[in-house]
Amino acid sequence: MEVFLVPVGTGRYELYSEVPDEPPDLTIDGSKGVWTRLQERFRIVLASIEREHGHDRPEPPAPGARLSWLERARNRVLRWTAERIAEQRLLWHLRRQTEATIVAPDDLPADRARDIVRSMLQQDVNRHGRWFVVNAVALVLSGVLAPFPGPNLVAYYFAFRLVGHYLSMRGAQRGSSGVVWHPVSNPELTRLREVGALPPFEQEREVDRIARTLGLRRFPKFFARIAARVA
C-alpha cells in the first residue's frame, strides 16, 4: 500500500492514497449481534452510495432538465457522503496492513516523514474516537423517534456515521503503531509546495501533470478540495 504525504501550505500535510474499493458483504443475518448487523448495513449503504455517486463527478442533467428541491438535496447529500467516504477509505484500508510505503517530498528526511505520518494518524485516532462516542450517544437518543411510522432516518444516519468513525479509528490505530512504514522520496510532491503561488489555471494544469506522473487519477479533485480548506 502506498500513502502519499502531500504538502498543503507551510508545514502542513495531508495523507492520500488510491486504494481499491472493497466488495461489500451484502448478507444480513438477524441472528447476529447488533454491532455486526450495523456493520453489514453500513456496507450495503456504502455500496449503494458508490454505485450512484462513486468517486467521480456525476453526469450533468440533460439540457433543459430541472431537478426538484428533493433531488437537489439528495444529490448534495450523496456528494458530501461520497467525499467523506473517499477521505476515510485510506484509514479503513490500513486496518489490514502490516507494511506500507510513505511517498514523501524529497526535501523531507525519511525519519521526519515517518514521524509526521504517525503523528497525523494518532490525531485521527483521537478525532474519530470522539466522533464515535458522539454518534453512539446520538444513535441511542434517536430511539425516541422509533414509535413514529416509517423508517427512522435519523437513526440510520447516526448508525452510518458510527460505523464509519469506528473503522477509521481502528485503521488509524493500526497505522500509528502496528504498521511498518517505508519512506521513499519523490520530487513531484516537493513541487506541490510551489503550486499555490501559481495563477489558478497554471496551478490546475500543474496539479494535473503531477497526478499523471504519479499515476493518481483522483488526485486533482482531492488536492483542489484540501487547497480550498487551507486557503
Model confidence pLDDT, tens digit, residues 127-165: 999 999 998 999 888 876 666 555 556 777 788 788 888
For the beta carbon of residue 25, count every other beta carbon within 10 angstroms.
11
pLDDT for residue 26 is more than 50 = no
**Tell me, what DSSP letter sits at residue 102?**
E
Query: How many angstroms separate the CA atoms of 37 and 31, rounded?
Result: 9
pLDDT for residue 99 is more than 60 = yes
Q: Is 11 left (phi over 0), alpha (psi -120 to 50) or beta?
A: left
Query: How many angstroms separate the CA atoms of 44 and 163, rounded?
Result: 12
Which of 73 and 129 is assigned the larger pLDDT?
A: 129
Q: Please tell me the pTM assigned to this model.
A: 0.76
